[in-house]
Chains A and B, each alone.
Chain A
Amino acid sequence: MNAIGSQAVTPVPGAGGLRARWGASWGSLVLAAAILGFLLTLLAVPVGMVFVTAFLDGTGGFTLGHFVTFFGTGLMRESFFNSLLVAGWSVVFASLIAVPLAYLTVRFQFRGALLIQTLGVLPLIMPPFVGAVAMQLIFGRSGSVNLLLDEHFGFTLPIMEGLGGVVFVESLHYFPFILMNLTVSLRAIDGAMEEAAINLGCRGWRLFWRIVFPLAAPGFLAGAALVFVKVFDDLGTPLVLGQTNLLAPQAYLRITQVGLEDPLGYVISVVMIAFSVLAMWLSVRVMKGKDYSTLQKGGAGIARRRLSRGEAVLAYAGIVLTLLVVLSPHLGLLLLSFARVWSFSVVPDAWTLEHYATVFRDSPFMIGNTLLYCGLAALIDVIIGVSIAYLVLRTRLPARQWLDSLASSAIAVPGIVLAIGYLRTFQHVSIGGFELAATWILIMLAYSVRRLPYALRACMAALQQINQSLEEAAEMLGASGWRTVRRIVIPLMAGGILAGFVSSFITAAVELSATILLTTRESQAPMSYGIYLYMQSVAGRGPGAALGVLLVGVVAVGTYLSHRVVERANRTLEQAK
């Protein structure tokens, strides 16, 4: 025993010099350098270029003049406040939908809870700009709802008018972020927390506002910050709804109409990044040191009640109404894709399969493009994700956390800003006679950088779940470092890796804000951009919707698969423990 014990603290022979000092093998050093190179070239430098350009005057000196111009221009000021307004109100409305749904699922024992959990994620599988078109047909000035209202009650609701329409579409699309986060933290509340309050005379609304909600606040804030950032950065929805007096559309218009040299486009980009970072920083900052998940091992969560008959009817009515509205874009899109004519009527007047034929005749390459770009991007993401996870969790490489932080920071960079950065950085770079900026490579790389944080989190989680003793056992039996990784680590991580691949893939498939700037020829267009192009004309709405249905189908299947894979992987790992 003694001999083995003392051997364990002796340094491994041969690990001298630089390697030992850095606590890593040459292989991991090279790997770290390669990833750093990738992230610097495709994330740090392009975003840095945007910042630099925003602060440079014509002669190359530092200036704040462009910012003065920005805040001195009425249109820019208006766009700025509109963006804040739209993002803020979207958070409010998304909360109004999500908070009751989350509370119902956690507090009460009834089948509706399952319905909420299942249908509650459906909005996320459809890009908001696709839903926006369908929602105009249902909630617009001459959409189904207003036609019915006008006919029966003699009034109409301006739901889709102006910025309100954007808020409506965005809150319906993004409320699941709040729903999911809030449900998790509500579930983590120790039942005794609530009972202690009841014991001291508290109940009903006061119990909810003084105890239950504050304890779940971290989850709520995390979800709310995410909604704010997503809405603030969204380009597709306002463009489709014709609301251009917002920051993201203004940046797009500046670059496409005024040109790549116009400094205001860069100033807008800087403002957008600043607010993304600010919102996330605030949510982290407010919740610092407030891990309220008080549920202890073996403890019971907050008490579940059965609904009385009257309450159940009320709850179901509320849920069904909410879900009807939430699923209306899906329904509208489906109807539109089969509609020969649909205008000024509640439902289409005649049906056809022609739009699908059109899509398969004219633009099958778009489907191919989406599969190619997103597949490659997701592949790059999981390779980098696994590598960073391994470097961070299994080596003592100095500053390895920085790789994680750098890769994760991509989440705070709006798609349009990254695209502007790419155009600026790579505008004169050519490889083998091809201008890089004119090829699809940039689109694919933009996808991989933007979706890297998702894949990275999945890989980190997967590796964290693997007990290190499993690897030590393999090494003890004579497997070298690399063979251990190949034979033990990667097979055990397979579920997480696949989940990361799928989540990168499906979120890249619905990406529009970077795509729209980086697509230079129609032949390069992926499905998301194709839908956008089709939707520009009334005649194209049918085929656009058909393409949209196909895209939603791809995403839905992918989401379902990843869900299954993650569940199965978790079960396997449970057994391994």
Chain B
Amino acid sequence: MKAVAVECRDIGLAYGSNQVLKGIDMAIEPGEFFALLGPSGSGKSTLLRLIAGFNQHNRGQLLVDGRDITGVPPHARNIGMVFQSYALWPHMTVADNVAFGLVERRRPRDEVRRRTQEALALVGLADYAQRRPNQLSGGQQQRVALARTIVIEPQVLLLDEPLSNLDKKLREQMRVELKRLQRSLGITTIFVTHDQEEAMTTADRMAVLEAGVLQQVGTPRELFDAPVNRFVAEFVGSTNLLEGRLDAARGRFVVEGLGELPAPEGAGSALSVRPHAITVTARDAGRDPARAWFEAEVENAEFLGEFTRYELAAGARRLTADVPHTAHAPLHARGAQVALGVDPRELRLLP
């Protein structure tokens, strides 16, 4: 099976005056596992349904394998979609659900049976063919939905919030399985999620959407380390945003009510400091000279096991710091007078 590219060219979608998607431009490589990440109402699901053909864009082009499929009805697209609710038909057995697309394609009966069995075996449910969907667990239903979609060998696989209906443990397990399955099939896969951890752990590349506008496209690492704007910086991971003024001549960034920090390259009016780039020590402890230090008071401390999350008041500013925890590390209680040290290499200027 040949992996195909998906390309959106200036895609816009509006319901009356309500613009849901505004000029989406992105290219998804053949065989890529691509995530659409965004908060609810950002237009990510709309974009996914648009690729499936359930929404029609008013503007722009949608290219699959270099061919514009704008106007091709959904049943003729050969783009497989796994729905958030799985949408397994309760009046059919698992096998009938999986065989559905092949029957619609008028494949010979022997082939339908063989490929259905293969698809079920692929997701590890060969023994469940004669069950009804409501006799399966959530994770099993998810697999059936997946088998039902990949059995027709779609050009592109779409997943709408594939893991959101599973509990935490199962979610992590399915994440790994999804990735393994996608690799072995080599099928171009686009999945929608609001969970940045899910997107970062699974996707080769991802796109962040907000208010119908594509904010940034890149690998998870690029988006985390080099966000292009405040929204991406705050949505992919969490961050402290410090408003201030860049003094390019002195190479300093001045934050009102806090002080000066060494300025990283670039320009911008805000400085992004990830919580894990901040260390917290007692006032009288030795200080690493490579860091920029500020006096602070602990307003709140949450012990999370692997790390402790401090809410710190430094001057007129409030900062969050995630300090890795070990058995011998000191814990600073609420009200403790501490020093916080910022690693200048982890700073980033944002517009």
User: Residues of A at under 8 Å CB distance from B?
Assistant: 190, 192-193, 195-203, 206, 210-211, 214-215, 217, 290, 292, 294, 296, 299
> Given A200-B152, A201-B152, A214-B91, A299 and B85 touching (CB < 8 A)?
yes
Cβ–Cβ contact A199 & B89, under 8 A: no
When distances are taken between beta carbons in the complex, the residues of chain A under 8 Å from B80 are: 199-200
When distances are taken between beta carbons in the complex, the residues of chain A under 8 Å from B84 are: 192
When distances are taken between beta carbons in the complex, the residues of chain A under 8 Å from B73 are: 203
When distances are taken between beta carbons in the complex, the residues of chain B under 8 Å from A296 are: 85
Cβ–Cβ contact B85 & A203, under 8 A: no
Q: Pick the residue among B74, B78, B90, B104 that contacts A215 (CB under 8 A).
A: B90
**17 pairs, CB–CB < 8 Å, chain A vs chain B:** A190-B85, A190-B87, A193-B89, A196-B83, A197-B100, A199-B79, A200-B75, A200-B152, A201-B75, A201-B76, A201-B152, A202-B75, A203-B75, A206-B104, A292-B90, A294-B87, A299-B85
Cβ–Cβ contact B75 & A193, under 8 A: no
Q: How far in angstroms is the closest Cβ of chain B from A222? A: 16
Enumerate the 7 nearest inter-chain pairs by beta-carbon distance, A residue then B residue, closest first.
A200-B101, A192-B87, A196-B87, A201-B104, A214-B91, A192-B83, A203-B75
Cβ–Cβ contact B100 & A294, under 8 A: no
Give the nearest-CB partner of A299 in chain B.
Answer: B85
Q: How far in angstroms is the closest Cβ of chain B from A208? A: 14
Within B73-132, the residues touching A (CB, 8 Å) are 73-76, 78-81, 83-85, 87, 89-91, 100-101, 104-105
Cβ–Cβ contact A200 & B91, under 8 A: no
A513 to B78, CA, bound (A): 60
Give the nearest-CB partner of B74 in chain A.
Answer: A198
When distances are taken between beta carbons in the complex, the residues of chain A under 8 Å from B91 are: 214-215, 217, 290, 292
Cβ–Cβ contact B100 & A199, under 8 A: no
Give the nearest-CB partner of B92 in chain A.
Answer: A214
Give the nearest-CB partner of B145 in chain A.
Answer: A196
A201 to B102, CA, bound (A): 9
Q: Is B246 an interface residue (CB 8 A)?
A: no
Q: How far in angstroms is the closest Cβ of chain A from B30? A: 21
Cβ–Cβ contact A192 & B85, under 8 A: yes
Give the nearest-CB partner of B52 in chain A.
Answer: A199
When distances are taken between beta carbons in the complex, the residues of chain B under 8 Å from A215 are: 89-91
Q: Is B44 an interface residue (CB 8 A)?
A: no
When distances are taken between beta carbons in the complex, the residues of chain B under 8 Å from A217 are: 91
Q: Pick the residue among B54, B85, B104 that contacts A200 (CB under 8 A).
A: B104
Q: Is B143 an interface residue (CB 8 A)?
A: no
When distances are taken between beta carbons in the complex, the residues of chain B under 8 Å from A195 are: 52, 54, 74, 81, 83, 87
Q: How far in angstroms is the closest Cβ of chain A from B152? A: 6
When distances are taken between beta carbons in the complex, the residues of chain B under 8 Å from A290 are: 90-91
Q: How far in angstroms is the closest Cβ of chain A from B88? A: 8
A217 to B90, CA, bound (A): 12
A500 to B219, CA, bound (A): 64
Give the nearest-CB partner of B88 in chain A.
Answer: A196
When distances are taken between beta carbons in the complex, the residues of chain A under 8 Å from B149 are: 199-200
Q: Is B194 an interface residue (CB 8 A)?
A: no
A197 to B152, CA, bound (A): 12
Q: Pick the residue among A198, A206, A211, A299 that contacts B89 (CB under 8 A).
A: A211
Give the nearest-CB partner of A195 in chain B.
Answer: B54
Q: Is B57 an interface residue (CB 8 A)?
A: no
Cβ–Cβ contact B90 & A199, under 8 A: no
A202 to B78, CA, bound (A): 11
A509 to B233, CA, bound (A): 72
A196 to B75, CA, bound (A): 10
Q: Is B148 an interface residue (CB 8 A)?
A: yes
A215 to B90, CA, bound (A): 8
When distances are taken between beta carbons in the complex, the residues of chain B under 8 Å from A299 are: 85
A101 to B40, CA, bound (A): 37
Q: Pick the residue among A198, A201, A214 that contacts B105 (CB under 8 A).
A: A201
> Given A195-B54, A196-B81, A196-B83, A202 and B89 touching (CB < 8 A)?
no
Q: How far in angstroms is the closest Cβ of chain B from A173? A: 30
A210 to B104, CA, bound (A): 10
A410 to B12, CA, bound (A): 61
Q: How far in angstroms is the closest Cβ of chain B from A412? A: 27
A162 to B337, CA, bound (A): 100
Provide the B298-317 mask, 1 if CB < 8 A to any CB of A, else 0.
Answer: 00000000000000000000
16 A-B pairs besides A199-B80, A202-B100, A292-B90 with CB distance below 8 A are A192-B83, A192-B87, A193-B87, A193-B89, A195-B52, A195-B83, A195-B87, A196-B87, A196-B89, A197-B89, A198-B75, A200-B104, A201-B105, A211-B89, A214-B91, A294-B87
Q: Pick the residue among A192, A200, A214, A292 that contacts B100 (CB under 8 A).
A: A200
A179 to B114, CA, bound (A): 41
Q: Pick the residue among B75, B85, B105 that contacts A199 (CB under 8 A).
A: B75
When distances are taken between beta carbons in the complex, the residues of chain B under 8 Å from A201 are: 75-76, 78, 101, 104-105, 152
Give the nearest-CB partner of B134 in chain A.
Answer: A289
Q: How far in angstroms is the closest Cβ of chain A from B99? A: 10
Give the nearest-CB partner of B102 in chain A.
Answer: A200
When distances are taken between beta carbons in the complex, the residues of chain B under 8 Å from A206 are: 104
A319 to B74, CA, bound (A): 30
A103 to B206, CA, bound (A): 42
A481 to B110, CA, bound (A): 68
> Given A211-B89, A217-B91, A199 and B81 touching (CB < 8 A)?
yes
When distances are taken between beta carbons in the complex, the residues of chain A under 8 Å from B85 are: 190, 192, 294, 296, 299
A196 to B141, CA, bound (A): 14
Chain B CB count within 10 A is highest, among A190, A201, A217, for: A201
> Given A201-B104, A203-B75, A206-B104, A294 and B90 touching (CB < 8 A)?
yes
Q: How far in angstroms is the closest Cβ of chain B from A212? A: 10
A214 to B132, CA, bound (A): 14
A564 to B258, CA, bound (A): 66
Give the nearest-CB partner of A207 in chain B.
Answer: B75
A196 to B87, CA, bound (A): 7
A195 to B49, CA, bound (A): 10
When distances are taken between beta carbons in the complex, the residues of chain B under 8 Å from A196 are: 81, 83, 87, 89, 148
When distances are taken between beta carbons in the complex, the residues of chain A under 8 Å from B76 are: 201
When distances are taken between beta carbons in the complex, the residues of chain A under 8 Å from B75 are: 198-203
When distances are taken between beta carbons in the complex, the residues of chain A under 8 Å from B54 are: 195, 198
When distances are taken between beta carbons in the complex, the residues of chain B under 8 Å from A192 are: 83-85, 87
A122 to B136, CA, bound (A): 44
Q: Pick the residue among B90, B104, B148 that contacts A202 (CB under 8 A).
A: B104
When distances are taken between beta carbons in the complex, the residues of chain A under 8 Å from B90 are: 215, 290, 292, 294
A206 to B100, CA, bound (A): 11
When distances are taken between beta carbons in the complex, the residues of chain A under 8 Å from B79 are: 199
A198 to B52, CA, bound (A): 10
A206 to B74, CA, bound (A): 15
Give the nearest-CB partner of B81 in chain A.
Answer: A199
Q: How far in angstroms is the closest Cβ of chain B from A71? A: 38
Q: How far in angstroms is the closest Cβ of chain B from A238? A: 37
A362 to B165, CA, bound (A): 71
Give the nearest-CB partner of A291 in chain B.
Answer: B90
Q: How far in angstroms is the closest Cβ of chain A from B207? A: 22
A170 to B224, CA, bound (A): 70
When distances are taken between beta carbons in the complex, the residues of chain B under 8 Å from A211 are: 89
A397 to B79, CA, bound (A): 58
Give the nearest-CB partner of B151 in chain A.
Answer: A200
When distances are taken between beta carbons in the complex, the residues of chain B under 8 Å from A193 are: 87, 89
Give the nearest-CB partner of A303 in chain B.
Answer: B54
A193 to B104, CA, bound (A): 16
A36 to B87, CA, bound (A): 46
A193 to B152, CA, bound (A): 17
A200 to B74, CA, bound (A): 9
A206 to B75, CA, bound (A): 12
When distances are taken between beta carbons in the complex, the residues of chain B under 8 Å from A190 are: 85, 87
Q: How far in angstroms is the closest Cβ of chain B from A190? A: 6
Q: How far in angstroms is the closest Cβ of chain B from A303? A: 8
Q: How far in angstroms is the closest Cβ of chain B from A201? A: 4
A190 to B148, CA, bound (A): 18
A211 to B91, CA, bound (A): 8
Q: How far in angstroms is the closest Cβ of chain B from A424? A: 46
Q: How far in angstroms is the closest Cβ of chain A from B286? A: 48
